[in-house]
Structure 1
């Protein structure tokens, strides 16, 4: 608002920040019901993505900004051939407490594709009545490979290179079946497993790995959540009409293999 007020002032138009804030607030109030309906739709998907990122927020009187959080829920079923349109829903919070994640995802059920943020953990706990979790975690290969990529770029570690090659081979399989029906995707994976052509990621979980390469949270988190990363390979993470969810392979740090 301050920047826009200054731009108008240079053009001879006197618009106070409070006036601009009133306009934005009024517009936000009018479109809030539409935004909430989008949020309802996004969170109703059988498999959703969730994440958060820090954003600078003005902190009047302190001469600097403070850090807030912008939360995101994405529903995108195009990778398994669903006709349902994609949607994204955003929500702001002043901090990163787990209660904000819980409030955002309270209406959701099914599979949650997210990073290893501890604030999501309670969402995966079994329901006291049904004994089953309302949300089941689906881990992200792009997050897991980041530290591997950085380690290889820094040290040229052959173990990191081999792990990246294995993950790259898995990504290649998924690119070939991207957008195909759940039946086709599952059949391709089953055929590759039957002929032992499916690239295994087991190298990542070697005990020697922890002492010889990256020690970041992403790698240690991957080692502790092996099932969440390998479930799609075993053909057990079925969503929607039998589809299997896999992390989007278009990571910005994907090297050519």
Structure 2
């Protein structure tokens, strides 16, 4: 087990130090030590914030009080740690909000799914600078890999309507030779929209994608070179009436291992 885990010692000793044979005093000659992995269940708690007010007896006019601590949601119930827990559970652990509401309910905390969704919305608004910085770093790389994943939910009430999708972009240091760490950017989009093109505007380099035809417009200017996976490379070319030459689906990525 990792060394950073706290160790809580539990002593299991005998009831009496008298010898069971002659009733003489027993002395310690050693011990056996074993370790077991334990867990402390998550526990909700209420943070009670007290802000005393002070007044001057001499003049009777001055009243001094510490300012209120900043909150992600003004006058809201959750702390920053609780909002972070909801975000990590939803996006990193893929735990939907309705399931999180069920987990909270088992501990006697009733939180509606709409309330959790409101918290996620506030957090997403405040995380926009991080999103913009990730996008800026992404488009300045020399090679990017993008993949669209369906969310399983429909955008409308009818079955034939488009389903929302999550587009995952990652820089490829092995292709870019910039030595940077791999960075991911998730963008919510609809499959047949121009959203992916808008987010990749200004990118110059190799773009590794699937067979989604919307990416082909990025390669028309010559700044972007599309590279397809072996599964989509066998698909037929999408008909297009434009005079500009269409990018070949049989382009391969450069081998930097040579």
TM-score by length of 2: 0.50
How far the C-alpha of 1:24 sits from its partner, in A, is 1.6
Question: CA 1:227 to 1:19, structure 2 compared with 1: closer, same or farther past 3 Å?
Answer: closer
**Which residues in structure 2 correspond to 1:1-257 (within 5 Å)?**
1-57=97-153, 67-78=163-174, 82-93=178-189, 95-126=190-221, 133-141=222-230, 143=231, 218-221=233-236, 229=250, 231-232=252-253, 237=254, 244=256
For this pair of structures, how many residues does the alignment match?
154
Stretches of 4+ aligned residues off by more than 6 angstroms:
58-63
Q: Are the equivalent residues in 2 in contact too, given 1:56–1:66 (CA < 8 A)?
A: no
Q: Deviations over 1:6-35 (max 9, x none)?
A: 222222111122321222222222222112
Q: Are the equivalent residues in 2 in contact too, given 1:39–1:88 (CA < 8 A)?
A: no
CA distance in 2, matches of 1:33, 1:51: 23
CA distance in 2, matches of 1:80, 1:91: 22
Q: Are the equivalent residues in 1 in contact too, given 2:174–2:256 (CA < 8 A)?
A: no
Q: CA RMSD in A?
A: 3.5
3-state DSSP class of the match of 2:128? Answer: helix
Which is greater in Rg?
A: 2
Equivalent residue number for residue 61 of structure 2: none
Q: Are the equivalent residues in 2 in contact too, given 1:98–1:120 (CA < 8 A)?
A: no
CA distance in 2, matches of 1:228, 1:72: 21
Q: Deviations over 1:25-47 (max 9, x none)?
A: 22222222112211211121111
CA distance in 1, matches of 2:177, 2:220: 30
- Structure 2: runs of 5 or more not aligned: 1-96, 238-245
CA distance in 1, matches of 2:249, 2:186: 25
CA distance in 2, matches of 1:90, 1:41: 14
Structure holding more helix per residue? 1
3-state DSSP class of the match of 1:90? Answer: strand
Structure with the larger RCO, 1 or 2 (CA within 8 Å, 6+ apart): 1
CA distance in 2, matches of 1:109, 1:17: 42
